[in-house]
Each structure stands twice: as C-alpha cells, then as structure tokens.
Structure 1
Amino acid sequence: MQLATILEGGEEIAVALDPPRGLVRLTDLAEPIGGGALDVIAAVPPGEFTDRVRATPTARFAPAEGREFTAPYRRPHKIWGIGLNYRAHADDLSAVHPDEPASFIKADHTVIGPGEPIPLPAQSERVTAEAELGLVIGRPTRDVAEADAIGALWGVVPVLDQTAEDILQRNPRFLTRSKNFPGFFSFGPGITPIGEVLERFGSLAAIEVATVVDGEVRRADTVAHMIFGPAHLIAFHSAMMPLHPGDIISSGTPGAAVIAAGDTAECRIPGIGVLTNPVVSGRS
C-alpha cells in the first residue's frame, strides 16, 4: 500500500495504491482525506492511512495501469542528502569512512517525479545518478533519541539523487552547487507507510537498493551495510534542527553511475518500488 500522486486533466491528485485492487482517490476513501500528499503526511499518521485504505470497498478502486504518476509532492520543507554512507561505496572511492554523517541540503527546485527527464546541465561534463532509499518524516521531530527515531517516519520512497561529479571533484566546497541543478532529485512513484515496511521486511536493514542504468544493475547493497543507519540519520539531523512532516532524508547510495543523454536511470528497491527517469541534454 502506498501514498502517491497522479496527473489527471492537468491536475495533481493524491491517491492510495493497494495492489491488486488498484488505486483510489483519497477523497473517495470510506473515510475521506482531503488535500495533497504532503497535507496527508502532516495530518494523518501512517497507520491510520493504512486502516482507512483497507476499510474502503474494492468497488471504489480503479486500475493503476496507464496512469501518469508524478512526484508525490513538489515542495518538501527540506531535503537532506547523505554522502558516502555505504561502506562498499566509500571503499570504491578510496574514501575514509566518515565519523559523522556527511550531509548536504537540496532545494525543492531540484524535485521531479517518475518519467520526468533529468536534464544534464551545461556546466557539467560528468553527471551521475545515485539510487537511494528516501526517509519521509511524518511528524514534527526535534532531538529524538535514536531508539525512538523510526517512530518519526511516515514512510519510505525510492529516490534518484544526481551529482555534477566533475564540479565536485574540482573542489569539495562545490558540493551544494554540484547537487542543486534542476531535476537532480527525483522521488516516487509511491511512499510506503512505515508500518507496511516493517511488516514486510522486519526492519529497514533488510531493504536492498540498486542503481540501474538502461536495465543494467550498476550497484546494489542492503541498508544493513550503511555506515549510519536510518535511525541514526534521523536522530543526528533532529539534533541539528527541527524536522518537519514531509522532510526527506535521502540516505545515501550503494553506488553512483555516470549518465548520458538517451540513458534511462532507475532506482530499484524490491518490495518498495521502481523509479525511472529518462536522461536528456540540458546543454544549450
């Protein structure tokens, strides 16, 4: 079961996905929910969302096939990215494992959704796509203990985080610049409520994330091999600043892949979802 957004008649509409029943508008649930997906995350706990969807008669659902899914929402309060957070990925780059999360901020102008093009910026000759598990905050969170941090989540979502790698290699202080071109943060198609995730996997550690280009798996690893796990990332950042409903922590990639115009980049997370974006030239 997932919270998602579809495009219909030029309008973005929040829906619930419940395979194999299909999708249903949130306003058509047995107990309706108004607003967009971000409003839902702020107002309806994930367990209550799941209960409302399960209580809705199957006759109200429609097929999901052929629907155009967008980013679940376009204006998160903030997006945190995490660098070098898988041990094997750090080893590939001959990088010292960080003692603390190596995090950075991305702005909401970078947000795109499934199927939207990733434009390659004119300033860069080497862009990478990085599949990641996105952690979606579900309630106002400040100074949460690591033991309680997973309780702050609404759910998880596939992410593709892009980097202008050649710009970053010129100077590590160019991290913000290299990460903030338009189209450099894709997420979707659906957010899986945390209760569903834990029921399916037992813990977030069992989730596998794969970076895929043109159907070829370039790198895959499980959350268990992160240097800093999801609970630590939430607690660490909540000690720095307040986290708001809908904030996303993109928890790091098992490996980056260089992308070129004409490629198709993919974040593949079995049991959670597949996010796919075409790559186009944005150079003038």
Structure 2
Amino acid sequence: MRLASIRHDGTEVPALVDARRGVVRVADLVPGFSGDALSILVDGRWAELEKLAADAPDRVFADRASVEFGAPYRHPRLIWGIGLNYVDHAADLSEQVPDEPASFVKGDHTVIGPGEPIPVPPQSSRTTAEAEVALVIGRHCRNVSEADALEYVAGVVAVLDQTAEDILERNPRFLTRSKNFPGFFSFGPEIVPLAELPDLAELEVSTVLNGQEHRTNTVARMRYSPAFLVSFHSAVMPLQPGDILSTGTPGAAHIRPGDTAECRIPGVGVLSNPVVRG
C-alpha cells in the first residue's frame, strides 16, 4: 500500500492508498493517531499500518477520486537534488555529465503538494520545472554499499523540482539560491513502495507542460543509478527516514504564470501544479 496525506476538515492527515479498495486515513486504523506521514516513516510503522489496513472493513475506505491529496509531508529533514544525471539531458544543455554526482540541498520551505501553485519569483525571468523520480529513505543509512543501498529506500515519489535558471546561468556558484525559492519542490501524491515496482530502471519519467510532453526518459538512462546515489550520499552524511533524494530530470521546461507543469511516471503517479506570478 502507498503512503500519502489527504486533506480532511481543513488539515492534512496521513493515509494509505490501496489500488483496489481506495484510501483510508491512518486515524481510522489507529484511533487517536496524531502524527504525520513523516512520523510513520521515522517510527518504522508503515508495514504495521499495512497489516491493519488489510484487515479493515471496506467501509472505512474512500474512493481515490473523492479525496484531495496534499504533500506527503511538509518538513523533510533533508532534500538532496541531483543535477545533470540523465546523459541525454546533459547533451541538451551542451554539458558533460560530471565525474561525480552534482548534488545540492533544498530547504523544507520549498515544499508544496499536488495542485498548489508554483510561484515564479520576481528575481527570475526564466524559471524551469523539472520532473523527477525521488527516493524516500526508510531507515538510517550510513556508508552503505551500492549493492545494499535500495534496502534502505522506503519508496519512490513523483517530484517537480524548480530552478531559477537565469540566476544559475550567471554563475554556477548561485546553485543553492536558484533552487531554494518558495514552492520550488513539489512532491506527491503518493509514496510508492519499491515492492510495487518490478524494475526501478524501467520507470519512465516525463516533464509535461500544459498537457504536452516536453521530455521523457527512463531511469536506466541515468548516469548514476538510484542505488549508486544512495550509497554515494550515505558516505557524505547519514541519511535518515523521510529524507528525500531527487534523482535528476530528463528535461527542464520553461514555465510562466498561467502554465501547468506536470511530472508523469507510469506506475508511480501524476503530479500537477499550476504556475503563478510570485
């Protein structure tokens, strides 16, 4: 079952999503539950809740189309982003894929969820949206091997990662600033456990703008695989449950107020956000 947050009585509450039965609030499985989806990851309770949901009556489930999804959680401890990870995307930009992952960190003030507006900041005349698949860490992870790395991943989620590209073009040292405006990290609607994905390498990630596919590629075309990225970054610092590692984009689309940006990943989900003036 997938982990998500849904809007209920003016707040966002954690929920599980079953492909057949629909959506159930965690509070309907554990009366009095007051945490968020991040606390479920931190406390290692996802598997326990899946068992409770499997035994729950159908009446506690709502049809997926009847609920409104939010960001799975609002305050991840850490968001790692990876630049120029698709070989083809680097070629588009006349760039070479770096000899090591080109990573950066984003703050939780950038987080938004499905359907929330992406503000184009007044400091930028060229902001881009970049569809990505992100890895959600499931347990403490430090100095792990590439062979074992995916054992530490709870699941994957669709992402739209924004960049003030004109700021970055002025100087590559401006990367952190160009990536950290409010609304520059949308993720959701659901965290999909790896067990639901037969082959991570075959996932197809598409950046879509106003309903038109802008660029599509598969995880297999990454220079640095998801397992390598987890292993590499776990050697830099400890990774903790709920940390997010966004793996790079097949292509960035220039967005303007009035546009709608989407990340589409068959088998994972569709993430859509309108674009507004900041």
The CA deviation string for residues 83-141 of structure 1, in whole angstroms up to 9 with x for no partner, is 00001001111111211100000000000000000000000000000000010000011
Alpha-carbon distance in structure 2 between the residues aligned to 1:48 and 1:194: 17
Alignment partner, residue 273 of structure 2: 277
1:222 matched residue in structure 2? 218
Equivalent residues in 2 for 1:227-238, closer than 5 Å? 227-238=223-234
Deviates more, 1:44-53 or 1:264-273: 44-53
List per-residue Cα deviations over 1:137-159 (Å, max 9, x = no partner). Answer: 00011101110000001110000
| In 1: Cα distance, 2:62 partner to 2:32 partner | 16
**What residue number does 1:155 align with?**
155
Find the aligned partners of 2:33 and 2:154 in 1 and give their Cα distance: 16
Q: List per-residue Cα deviations over 1:161-216 (Å, max 9, x = no partner).
A: 0000000000000000000000000000110112222xxxx221011100001100
Greater shift, 89-98 or 240-249, is seen at 89-98
**TM-fit CA distance, 1:53:** 2.8
Match of 1:76 in 2: 76
Q: Do structure 1's residue 97 and structure 2's residue 93 form an aligned pair?
A: no
Counterpart residue identity of residue 65, structure 1: A
Query: Are positions 1:108 and 2:97 aligned together?
Result: no
Q: Which shows bigger deviation, 130-139 or 10-19? A: 10-19
CA RMSD, Structure 1 to Structure 2 (Å) = 1.5
Corresponding residue of 1:259: 255
Corresponding letter in the other structure for 2:56: T
SS in 1 for 2:208: strand
Tell me the SS of whatever aligns to 1:174: helix
1:11, distance to aligned residue in structure 2 (A): 1.6
Q: Residue 96 of structure 2 aligns to which amino acid in structure 1?
A: V
Cα distance in structure 2, aligned partners of 1:55 and 1:93: 51
Matched, 1:67 2:67: yes
Q: What is the count of residue pairs matched by the alignment? A: 278
Q: Which whole-Å deviations, capped at 9, do the CAs of 1:45-89 have from their partners, x for residues lacking one?
A: 654444443333322211222322110101000100000000100
Aligned mates of 1:216, 1:55 — CA distance in 2: 42
Give the match for residue 40 of structure 1.
40
Distance, in Å, in 1 between the alignment partners of 2:33 and 2:202 is 32
Alignment of 1:19-38 (within 5 A): 19-29=19-29, 35-38=35-38
User: Which residue number corresponds to residue 176 of structure 1?
Assistant: 176
- Percent identity, aligned pairs only, is 60
Q: How big is the shift at 1:31?
A: 9.7
Contact 1:16 1:25 in 2 (8 A): yes
Structure 2: gaps (5+ residues)? none
Alpha-carbon distance in structure 2 between the residues aligned to 1:47 and 1:26: 12
Q: 2:207 is matched with which residue: 184, 190, 211?
A: 211
Q: TM-score, normalised by structure 1?
A: 0.94
* Counterpart residue identity of residue 142, structure 1: R
Structure-2 change in CA distance of 1:55 and 1:118 (3 Å): same
User: Quick one: which of 230, 241, 248 aligns to 2:244?
Assistant: 248
For residues 52 and 43 of structure 2, the distance between their equivalents in structure 1, rounded to whole angstroms, comes to 13
Find the residue that maps to 2:233 and give its secondary structure. Answer: helix
Query: CA–CA distance in 2 between the matches of 1:78 and 1:185?
Result: 12
The amino acid that maps onto 1:152 is Y
The 1-side partners of 2:267 and 2:23 are apart by: 17
Distance in 2 separating the partners of 1:48 and 1:203 = 25
Distance across 2 between alignment mates of 1:227 and 1:210: 17
- The TM-score normalised by the length of structure 2 is 0.96
Q: Which structure 1 residue ranges, 5 or more long, are not aligned?
A: none
Aligned partners of 1:56 and 1:206: how far apart in 2?
Answer: 33
Are the counterparts in 2 of residues 262 and 280 from structure 1 also a CA contact under 8 Å? yes
